[in-house]
Amino acid sequence: MEWMSWTGPTAAFFGVIALMLVGMTTWELRSPSVPRRGFLPIATTRGDRLFIGLLGSAYLHLLVIGATDWSIWVAFALSLVWLLAVMRWG
């Protein structure tokens, strides 16, 4: 990843996203999801919840980078918790 001047955490973040997309695609092909309601105000499928979780993770990263002096790993941990919560209870 040196050709893009990425840091290790940035490469890890996008690598995990790529693996999640491959995993979700495989899961969806084997077992199609049905919409359900959770704490989100709309009925969502697994793919919808993944998208919402990833979008929220991006905003969490921007918030941590722009408003705090915390490590990017803190943003990664917060994003992981957010994504797991949305996927499980969203």
Same domain (yes/no): 75, 49: yes
The parent domain of residue 14 ranges over: 1-32
Please report the DSSP string for the chain in residue order: -GGGT--HHHHHHHHHHHHHHHHHHHHHHHS----B-SSSSS-B-HHHHHHHHHHHHHHHHHHHHHH----HHHHHHHHHHHHHHHHHH-
- pLDDT tens, the chain, 90 aa long: 567 777 787 788 788 889 989 999 999 999 998 899 999 899 999 999 999 999 999 999 999 999 999 988 899 899 999 999 999 998
Per-residue pLDDT, 1: 55
Same domain (yes/no): 85, 44: yes
Same domain (yes/no): 64, 48: yes
Per-residue pLDDT, 2: 63
Domain total for the chain? 2
Would the pTM count as exceeding 0.75?
Answer: yes
Same domain (yes/no): 10, 22: yes
